[in-house]
Amino acid sequence: MTFKINKITVVAVIIAVCGLFYVVGRYNYRQSSKKVTEALISARDSIKTYKVTLGGVLKEVNEISQLVVTERQAKELALIEKEKYRKLHLKSISEVTLLQGRISILLDSIKNNAQVIIVTDIDSAQTPCAKLPFSFAQKNKFIDLSGTFNEKAIMSMKLEVPVSLDVTVGVRKKGLPTVIVLSNNPYFKLDKISSIKVTQEKHWYDSHWLYLGVGFTGGVVLAHYIK
């Protein structure tokens, strides 16, 4: 049995295989970036909201799918601010979750200590009026409101709305990474959730398909030149 290999041919084949895998890798990366962009657009208004009772307390659940990207994709799509995290002295970023909400309160029949007096005008019309100064307050487990009107009818007010958010990141049975935010304050409304998971960049030479391809090609070349 003789063993003949044309070195130039082997080198050319290996270069061609590497070039092919590079092109395939670039194509897959572009397709992946396209899917990430589409997922980012569709996730803007896709908050799923429902209510559950946990420990005897009714809570509002806000749920959204987490976006999984590489650090390179996150930077290209401006999903992370490099300068911001540099100033926070972070060596790397694994997850970024942003919450945007508001406090929406409409109250009536607020308790107060105003003395109501009846004022009669020149047309003998009687009008009930609150005598200044007076104070008002309303407090429960969701809101703490207090304030006063002074002699010049200038109002001073203090308002506290305790908001407790329980943020959980998990994986659904179908393998979808999901972000769930729980809140028990009815005055708090969550308008937007944005969450991304930054994964380690995979290079084209890290693909197991590359090694399979090179091994297969090498086997074909050797089989052709072995006699």
> What region, left, alpha or beta, does residue 145 occupy, with left being phi > 0 and alpha being psi -120 to 50 degrees?
beta
Q: Are residues 89 and 16 in the same domain?
A: yes
Return the axis-axis angle of helices 7-42 and 208-225, rounded to nearest 10°. Answer: 160
Are the C-beta atoms of 213 and 95 separated by less than 8 Å?
Answer: no
Q: Are residues 100 and 149 in the same domain?
A: no
Distances (CA, A) of 13 to 6, 185, 226: 11, 66, 16
Of all residues in the chain, the percent with pLDDT exceeding 90 is: 33
- Per-residue pLDDT, averaged over 13-28, amounts to 59
Classify residue 214: in a domain, yes or no: yes
* Between residues 169 and 33, the one the model is more confident about: 169
Predicted local confidence at residue 213, as pLDDT: 56
Residues 6+ apart with CB under 8 A from 123: none
Q: Are residues 94 and 156 in the same domain?
A: no
Q: Global pTM? A: 0.63
Classify residue 1: in a domain, yes or no: no
Q: Are residues 119 and 167 in the same domain?
A: no
Predicted local confidence at residue 122, as pLDDT: 80
Classify residue 71: in a domain, yes or no: yes
Mean model confidence pLDDT for the chain: 78
Report pLDDT digits (tens) over 94-146.
888 889 999 999 998 899 999 999 988 888 888 899 999 999 999 999 999 99
Classify residue 207: in a domain, yes or no: yes
Total number of domains in the chain = 2
Predicted local confidence at residue 160, as pLDDT: 95
Residue 111, beta-bridge partner list: 137
Predicted local confidence at residue 197, as pLDDT: 86
Report the relative pairing of strands 67-70 and 188-199 from DSSP bridges.
parallel
Predicted local confidence at residue 18, as pLDDT: 62
Report pLDDT digits (tens) over 206-222.
555 555 555 555 555 54
Q: Are residues 117 and 175 in the same domain?
A: no
Domain range enclosing 202: 7-105+162-225
Predicted local confidence at residue 176, as pLDDT: 80
Q: Are residues 172 and 218 in the same domain?
A: yes
